[in-house]
Amino acid sequence: MSRQFTPKVVTANALLEGDVVYLTKQGHWTRQHAEADLIEDAVTAEIRLLEAQALAHEVVGPYLADAVAGKNGPEPVHFREAFRTRGPSNYAHGKQPV
């Protein structure tokens, strides 16, 4: 028996800056998780991942990350993804809370 699909977002790292980025519905990259396209089915998720992989001149390591619908857009499910939304932890980059 196959597992039920859980919603996903496509995430990667920007090739030049290394920032965490998310694929929007319009096919652009954003640094805001809440602006990501929340994908609700497995077929669309695989298609969007293939689209992201074709953008190797823009991003590195695209993959599907579990997410849930939130009041302001998609929210991460796992600690790792929540941690990635806050930016690098080695020094202040402007994303960390003050």
Please give the residue range of the domain that contains residue 17. Answer: 8-85
Q: How far is CA 56 from the centre of its chain?
A: 15
Assess if residue 81 is contained within a domain.
yes
Assess if residue 97 is contained within a domain.
no
63-93 residue pLDDT tens:
999 999 999 999 999 999 988 888 766 656 6
Contact 1, 66 (CB under 8 A): no
Assess if residue 94 is contained within a domain.
no
Question: Given pLDDT bands bounded at 50, 70 and 90, which one contains residue 97?
Answer: low
- Residue 30, SS3? strand
pTM here is 0.85
pLDDT at residue number 90: 60
The partner residues of 76 in beta bridges, in order of sequence, read: 67
Assess if residue 30 is contained within a domain.
yes
CA distances from 64 to 31, 36, 89, 97 (A): 16, 12, 23, 26
pLDDT at residue number 57: 96
pLDDT at residue number 95: 64
Assess if residue 91 is contained within a domain.
no
Task: Give the containing element (helix H, strand E) for 11.
Answer: strand 8-14
Assess if residue 45 is contained within a domain.
yes
Number of domains composing the chain: 1
Mean residue pLDDT of the chain comes to 90
Assess if residue 13 is contained within a domain.
yes
Assess if residue 95 is contained within a domain.
no
